[in-house]
Amino acid sequence: MSNYVTAIGLDVHARSISACAFDPMTGEVSRARFGYDPASVAEWALGFESPKAVYESGPTGFHLCRALRALGVDCAVGAVSKMHRPAADRGRKNDRRDAEWLARLLACRNVVEVWVPDERTEAARDLSRALED
Determine contact, residues 98/85, Cβ cutoff 8 Å. Answer: no
| 104 domain residue, yes or no | yes
Range 56-83 average pLDDT: 90
Q: Are strands 29-35 and 16-22 parallel, antiparallel or unpaired?
A: antiparallel
DSSP 133: -
Residue 120, pLDDT score:
85
| Most confidently predicted of 36-45, 59-68, 87-96, 106-115 | 36-45
| 68 domain residue, yes or no | yes
Helix (H, G, I), strand (E, B) or coil at 87: helix
| 1 domain residue, yes or no | no
The mean of the pLDDT values for the chain is 88
Instruction: Name the CA dihedral angle for 37, 52, 106, 41, rounded to a multiple of 10 degrees.
Output: -20
| 84 domain residue, yes or no | yes
What total of structural domains would you count in the chain? 1
* CA-to-CA separations, 49 to 28, 39, 42, 89, in angstroms, rounded: 12, 18, 13, 29
Range 55-60 average pLDDT: 86
pLDDT reading at 127 higher than 60: yes
30 strand-pairing partners: 21
Stated pTM of the model: 0.85
Q: pLDDT tens digit string along 92-118?
A: 678 889 999 999 999 999 999 999 888
Higher pLDDT, 110 or 131: 110
Residue 81, pLDDT score:
78
CA 77 to chain CA mean position, Å: 6
List the CATH number of the domain containing 64: 3.30.420
Range 16-45 average pLDDT: 95
The domain containing residue 79 runs over which residues?
6-132
